[in-house]
Amino acid sequence: MDVTTEFYPGHGGAQLALHRMGQGRPLILLHGLFSNAEMNWIKWGHAALLAQAGFECLMPDLRAHGQSAAPHEAEAYPADVLALDLVALIQHLGLADFDLCGFSLGSRTSVRAVVGCGVKPARLVLGGMGLQGLAGWTGRQAFFTDAIDRFETVKHGDPAYFAVQFMKSMKVDRVAVRHLLGTFADTAPDALSAISMPTAVVCGDDDRDNGDPVALTEALPDAVHVVIPGTHMSCVTKPDLGRAIRDFLTA
């Protein structure tokens, strides 16, 4: 299916890219850290599958990712800026009835938007996420910040090696992303009661990068846990991810 790309003003006026595919019910798809809409949703066929199921896939490149603005000024990165950018997108499109799906960073962003900004999707999918990935970001933040700071010296065998290689392959703007890493706020488990809409926690059977998906499912008022094959990185490349999202949203 054809993909169209346009730009919209995010929080503070930053020009952010939005990729669209399909026609039908609006479904916002938020990609993971260091990735973009093309890599997360389009390349492996997930967006096409969802479009065929009757959704209009609305796939922004998050700030400092893909074709979106990657400003270097610290003031362009207030707390929860990605959630604020999501609010700006919803307002720009005039959406009142829509579904929301995130993977990894996209899941964190979705949760922050619901809990902190009052965003109210009809249904929610949280991919590649466990409870600790929402409530305990400090360790992951330190890991990625260290990988950026040691970017040119990280060798094979270093725990940061694969993160650095992925950043290189995605041509990540390290100055912008380093600013962005500091904007992510934790979400306490008791705050998750605000996520009252039906939710699917979709996670690879060998993915615990963001903690325990079962614990996250149990902390949510109305959630199911869906297991798909793969690790945090490999599950995105398999058709099971798109099928799990489709099956939940069309049940």
Tokens of 11: 């929080």
Tokens of 181: 């890493």
In angstroms, the CA 139 to CA 156 distance is 22
Confidence (pLDDT) at 185: 87
Confidence (pLDDT) at 86: 98
Confidence (pLDDT) at 189: 93
The angle formed by the CA atoms of residues 33, 16 and 18, to the nearest 5 degrees, is 85
Asked whether the beta carbons of 40 and 29 are under 8 A apart, the reply is yes
Q: Which domains does the chain show, CATH number per domain?
A: 4-137+185-250 (3.40.50.1820)
Neighbours of 246 (CB within 10 A): 19
Q: Enumerate the H helices of 94-126 as residue ranges.
A: 105-117
Number of H helices, E strands in the chain: 10, 8
Q: What is the largest CA-CA distance in the chain?
A: 49
Task: List per-block mean pLDDT (blocks of 10 residues) for the chain, which spans 251 residues.
Answer: 96 98 98 98 98 98 98 97 98 98 97 97 98 89 94 96 96 97 92 96 97 97 98 97 98 95
Confidence (pLDDT) at 140: 85
State pTM to two decimals.
0.97
